[in-house]
Structure 1
């Protein structure tokens, strides 16, 4: 789907630090809500507009003010755009297969990572969490233009939730380039007039093998290894609870549990949680109830987010949020912001990487997983000089 803004089209930007929503249109910007919940403002805009309206944008990790998360740095915490020109574009056909590369040789985990990992282990052993998604940010200075960077990203990381979002508005500039494999949430219309909410968490990722035998062995390890299965099951339980909070009693189901899905460069362990939305719950309200994605926090959500906020050195920003489409007809489809690059258009780029940690996790293995995930993104740039904070 392709949309573009004209000068008179409306967009919204959100600053979590002040809980301020700014409306941009016709070359002017106006604060329309202070002390606000961006979900509520987006819902009001959808209700006030045309039944054909579609909004495209992202929600950064700190978009729920009732949950512990630090505001983004350098870009808005959320951007939503209502383009008057929207087209459905047929897929161009299968993209060339991305090269399967051997993951870089594991290096000893640096001290800053070991320290964060040990703090997470203390929280896990203390019973504060069952699983913590430990992440960090890396930054790169590169003058590559966003469109070129996105095309490189798509070639290196073909994935179903790819998207290019550009908000080139003074004071609220942001580019999000994503090649995400994970569905955050979809809301679809049922034949009988109801709506179905679906989320497809990923917990468990491994590189594909360079030979058919290695590839099959990698997929089988992912399918059977207790570490991955435990991580996935804990997140499924969390999301069953989130989905049940907005769905009809007895309608929540798990039609697919821990299935291996294979992409160009990785195998993923994916589950599906689905329910029938209650009539009084709005689509935006359902998206809020799931936010942020349980696969990017751990369980239980609130306490684990407190652990994350205390342990991670920098704000997550747009990373670990959600991006996609929300329509006035009550449908929506959003991916999780992973395998993504973010810039304010100033030549500075940020990416996030990490993985789920349980009491059985090994610091070397977890750091190696975070590194090879980052390497695939850093390959977009000529200067692969990304550095942790």
Structure 2
């Protein structure tokens, strides 16, 4: 167990401090910023969290990835922050990932931060490892005084390309529908990539613009060396607090309107849409099944089913599934037994993942994976990496992907239009 020095202070202006803190963090090679954007929710521990400056880390391919993460967490018994890529599916099932990968992120990366900031209401808790405890006062002074450099690079036009063009998308959805009608699967999440090559972006500026548009409850800025994730995710994958585990899958999307009456009609239509409800309920059943692998018998329950949540860009249908685990259950075992999250795969899960791999053109990587943390006590909270821009600054490659659930009731044109709705914020930010 690593010891940390703790300092608690009251913040007069939380938003100003958050902005300063995020700017100050950019000097470090390892940064994870988690921001709830003050979105009203029932299950949040913190309003914002910043972890920076790696003391130790683990970086690995999918081979024995969960075993390695379990050993790393058990040895550090400290806060660790990082990501799980979708392709860790290959570690838990007899699957592979052979599609094109322009981003080339490691399959799993976690680090133990020297410096940690936890914000709740107007309270800031600072937790520094003992090796840097003398930096606290000096860092606070620098954060309050920090001014943003003015040497912004000249803006370049970004040309967004489609990995799967419209006609090909229709053809692939038709193939997936054939699998459904044949009985191979009931539902699958089919994704497509939008990308730009030989492109440079300002990662922090891009994240700030994306977050301003969407203001989601699981926003993330992640930097590991020259790899970046700029996420406006509305979805929680999995949270553990004490012996309670909670999952909140999203299935079902409707557009927003500035016309209040029309917006209300969109919301009501989503709530009553039989296709969207059936998608959501299928994934709820999948999540219940995943949680039952590690839960105390009889403890899995659905706390809310197909509730409508409203975000800046879209209305979403969300359910909440909870379970209880034994006190000796390792946190990484919970992640391994439920990964990847059902909302990004389909049902039955393994068959859906095989079909997804055959029909998609891009290795998903961090997209539809998860970013979050594990605490010294073994509690954790992870988002689902959707509505996100991924950037490899070394390769000068920018990517964002969107997807939707394909069921027997799916209409290829409507599925395509839903993808464009989900992609709007990312495209707007990148193309100005």
Output the TM-score relative to the length of structure 1: 0.83
Aligned to 2:245: 197
Runs of 4+ residues deviating >4 angstroms: none
Unaligned 5+ runs, structure 1: 20-36, 93-108, 190-194, 384-389
The answer as to 2:343 corresponding to 1:295 is yes
Aligned to 1:213: 261
Name whichever of 373-382 and 285-294 sits farther off.
Answer: 373-382
- Number of aligned pairs? 335
The answer as to 2:274 corresponding to 1:223 is no
Unaligned 5+ runs, structure 2: 1-48, 123-164
Q: Which has the higher helix share?
A: 2
Aligned to 1:82: 112
Cα 1:91–1:342, aligned 2, differ >3 Å: closer, same or farther?
farther
Aligned to 2:180: 124
Aligned to 1:66: 92
Distance 1:80 1:127 in 2: 39
Name whichever of 83-92 and 288-297 sits farther off.
Answer: 83-92
Contact map agreement 2:238 2:383 (CA 8 A) in 1: yes
Contact map agreement 2:52 2:113 (CA 8 A) in 1: yes
The answer as to 2:222 corresponding to 1:188 is no
- CA drift at 1:375: 2.0
The answer as to 2:77 corresponding to 1:47 is no
- CA drift at 1:328: 2.5
- CA drift at 1:66: 3.3
Distance 1:280 1:241 in 2: 21
What secondary structure is seen at the aligned counterpart in 2 of 1:334? strand
Contact map agreement 2:245 2:322 (CA 8 A) in 1: yes
Aligned to 1:374: 423
RMSD over aligned Cα atoms: 1.6
Aligned to 2:132: none
Aligned to 2:297: 249
Written as runs of structure 1 = structure 2, the 5 A alignment for 1:1-389 is 1-6=49-54, 9-16=55-62, 19=63, 37-49=64-76, 51=77, 53-64=78-89, 65-67=91-93, 68-70=95-97, 73=102, 74-90=104-120, 110-141=166-197, 142-168=199-225, 173-189=226-242, 195-346=243-394, 347-382=396-431
- CA drift at 1:352: 1.0
- CA drift at 1:231: 0.2
- CA drift at 1:260: 0.3
Distance 2:303 2:424 in 1: 33
Contact map agreement 1:70 1:315 (CA 8 A) in 2: yes
Contact map agreement 1:69 1:305 (CA 8 A) in 2: no
- CA drift at 1:291: 0.5
Output the TM-score relative to the length of structure 2: 0.75
